[in-house]
Structure 1
């Protein structure tokens, strides 16, 4: 008889694990609390517009290729990928921005124009970042975070200094131009921490940015979720939506069943791709690994205030991805990490996918997604959302020299309360737990429960960390742990 696996949640990591486990012969059922699958990568459709609710950046295409290759497939079997040119632009003042194009050669020209002599430094910086990428993304992140010895390889021993220096220190040592420094510090924000709290080794994110580039799946990131769903169904996964799991039953140290929508269902293995903290609240206190104090002390990635806006005209002076760094980054970062509060003058990001992909907005109109990073756990009210929308739209109009306020057909928002309501997210965080030095690899919450023998976890709060590519990897890692443990268990039973 096949081992029956219950998977809670249907985000990238849960779908990844489901595919691997079903391929290995497990009987897998996914339980998703929302009406549609995808976890934080769901989709909003309204009045002919289509928005990705969650992730909008497609980086590290090799990780997606590796995932699909494990099933004899490739991304192009499911969705069409386009490399963006330009990748993105960064505003620093009114009509003053730097555009990052689609090759390192072009980016070097941009740097040289901004700061003579900087292109040579950039090539050296990216060469080191590429080496880190080869080490990290093709090796280290595919290790399950069980012991510190996973990080000790001949290559990483030579790079130990890069674990104790920081991205900010390395960047500022070489690049004196404030604008260029900010652009080089930007990619590590995807890891959920400040550049001055992120180890230098994570410069591999700069290679993902400048060396590989930024892509867009036609019709949006949700196409990746739909591809994974198709793959999962093809290998025999059962997917159930509108299923709220509110209890995990344990007997003699083993999870024996889950309760979903009031129905108790027996399973041999339970895997949660839902919020780690929330999942442990489904257990009796004696079976929880981490206390409330533990979670309180951890550095969490930001939450976000997001707006999904339909415009009745095409916009100018923006790119598919546009960053607005016209205010003090340090002040905003302190308001996220050091003294959590609503920011006085927030940096923000905007995405206009309809500039690249006409399928996501009616003809002659524009789909806009605006994101303000916030500290998790903040008060979230309609009045605050409205105040900050007005703030960023006023700045957007000024910086890009265009009027858009009267061209808004509708706007929908998503913030702290929604992250909690829809995803049971701890304090409404958007990206999980930050990848700081003391929250890396074996120092993150474990993939396997230490107190319940057949309970496992996957996703952004565990190994390897925040982001879509790491989530795909997390699903693979936990599936391998399950297979290893339960193959060994079955062998021991047989003898």
Structure 2
């Protein structure tokens, strides 16, 4: 039976859910409070430059393929994918860097050249990582987090120890060189937790990195959002922007409508892809499943300080993606997770999409995105942003042996306050809830409300977790759950 579904928010998970629900024959409307769709994956255009405001890494291409294949489509029907070669570069000191190739055999050679014997160890580690990837991404993450029994399979039974070990110990057992250790620990940062708090099983992220490679959709990650919008419209979805949802209305224990810019919009099903904590504040207190105390005790993935910079020349000695690990990793991680504060000397990441994509900047110019991971909830002042921009630009110039400060045409910043203002993000987090052992699968906030009938949630604070591919999967999971519960 056809249902009317109102969806709050238009990020990856909301758009994915909208497509699946429309395919099932429902009447679907998406309400987005901002003037453009995409949630955190919006775009900034300025003076001929184009920046992805949010995600810039395209990993796990198979998840995107699986999504579009569910609609008898493929990504290439909507956007062009470019495999980055090299995948990225990691700086450890002045002109001291490791370049990660776009294929595993070359990466093995790189490891071997840095630490004798590490090539064979990496090959062995990657076989395990690929095995975990096949179990996790092709099976486990497509389960709705309803029961702990979802994690019990023949495959996971063989790997039970990997849920109680941690990535950091595993890597240090095999590798001694600090550079190699940090390169191998880097991918799990996408899960939003310290490597020492991330279960061994999550080594599948290393296969996503070294095994499947790093890609760039032409015209940026926003191309994926536009593709999903086009697919949604083809399926009959209505999308409304500048549509701020002020309240979820409940009658007799059932969600019946939402208030949008002062107007009531009735529906049979309400689905929120907005920040989970914020979504529950749209309910009267007695209908909320999770208290403020619950959220305050959760381990959140980091927030970020981001800069979008237009340069009047091409930048040298960097790749499309460049990581700057020239300062102590553990000290910065501690400032995020253990004792939240602004890090004295932050690690940072820089992306130069115009290295790959001519449409990202005018000819002869460079688009630069700089990101510093931060603890959520920090005080975010203009002078602090400026202080940290100066810190990383000074280090960038030193590490890459070039002057760029006087070539800055403009810069825009985005930080904790913006995440709160634009996305109603809890404490200004950028990536949702961290995927620690006690925040995995059935231990995450539920897709279906425990208190209100016909109310559902999707996105990075529920299953399967943070990141773009998991958000696509979250949209599918909640749509399946709605289909199952309405029949």
Runs (4+) off by over 2 Å: none
- What's 2:222 paired with? 222
The Cα shift of 1:250 comes to 0.4
SS of residue matched to 1:41: coil
SS of residue matched to 1:383: helix
SS of residue matched to 2:438: helix
The Cα shift of 1:266 comes to 1.0
Tell me, yes or no, if structure 1 residue 104 matches structure 2 residue 108.
no
Aligned mates of 1:114, 1:292 — CA distance in 2 = 48
- What's 2:197 paired with? 197
Aligned mates of 2:256, 2:38 — CA distance in 1 = 26
Aligned mates of 1:267, 1:331 — CA distance in 2 = 49
Give 1:71-470 correspondences, 5 Å limit: 71-470=71-470
SS of residue matched to 2:97: strand
Aligned mates of 1:256, 1:21 — CA distance in 2 = 18
1:230-275 alpha-carbon deviations (Å, 9 max, x no partner): 0000000000000000101101110011000000111110000000
SS of residue matched to 1:413: strand
Aligned mates of 1:114, 1:38 — CA distance in 2 = 41
- What's 1:2 paired with? 2
1:274-296 alpha-carbon deviations (Å, 9 max, x no partner): 00000000001000000001000
- What's 2:22 paired with? 22
SS of residue matched to 1:86: coil
Aligned mates of 1:103, 1:2 — CA distance in 2 = 47
- What's 2:65 paired with? 65
The Cα shift of 1:98 comes to 0.2
Aligned mates of 1:144, 1:453 — CA distance in 2 = 17
The Cα shift of 1:461 comes to 0.0
Aligned mates of 2:154, 2:262 — CA distance in 1 = 52
- What's 1:490 paired with? none
- What's 1:31 paired with? 31
Aligned mates of 1:251, 1:355 — CA distance in 2 = 54
Aligned residues: 487
Aligned mates of 1:232, 1:428 — CA distance in 2 = 29
Aligned mates of 2:252, 2:451 — CA distance in 1 = 10
Aligned mates of 1:255, 1:105 — CA distance in 2 = 54
Aligned mates of 1:361, 1:248 — CA distance in 2 = 42
Structure 1 runs not aligned, ≥5 long: 488-495
Aligned mates of 2:359, 2:268 — CA distance in 1 = 43
For normalisation by structure 1, the TM-score amounts to 0.98
SS of residue matched to 2:295: helix
Aligned mates of 2:384, 2:421 — CA distance in 1 = 18
- What's 2:476 paired with? 476
Aligned mates of 1:329, 1:244 — CA distance in 2 = 40
Aligned mates of 2:85, 2:109 — CA distance in 1 = 15
SS of residue matched to 1:39: coil
Aligned mates of 1:348, 1:158 — CA distance in 2 = 37
SS of residue matched to 1:156: helix
Aligned mates of 2:72, 2:54 — CA distance in 1 = 28
1:376-417 alpha-carbon deviations (Å, 9 max, x no partner): 000001100000000000000000000000000000000000
Aligned mates of 1:71, 1:271 — CA distance in 2 = 21
Aligned mates of 1:356, 1:223 — CA distance in 2 = 15
SS of residue matched to 2:40: helix
SS of residue matched to 1:107: helix
Aligned mates of 1:132, 1:3 — CA distance in 2 = 38
Aligned mates of 2:178, 2:404 — CA distance in 1 = 30
For normalisation by structure 2, the TM-score amounts to 1.00
- What's 1:13 paired with? 13
Aligned mates of 2:102, 2:157 — CA distance in 1 = 33
The Cα shift of 1:228 comes to 0.1
Aligned mates of 1:459, 1:221 — CA distance in 2 = 17
Structure 2 runs not aligned, ≥5 long: none
The Cα shift of 1:2 comes to 2.7
Query: CA-atom RMSD, angstroms?
Result: 0.5
- What's 1:492 paired with? none
SS of residue matched to 2:339: coil
1:104-155 alpha-carbon deviations (Å, 9 max, x no partner): 0000010010001100000000000000000000000000000000000011
SS of residue matched to 2:181: helix
SS of residue matched to 1:431: coil
Aligned mates of 2:24, 2:256 — CA distance in 1 = 21
Aligned mates of 2:266, 2:195 — CA distance in 1 = 46
SS of residue matched to 1:466: coil
The Cα shift of 1:206 comes to 0.1
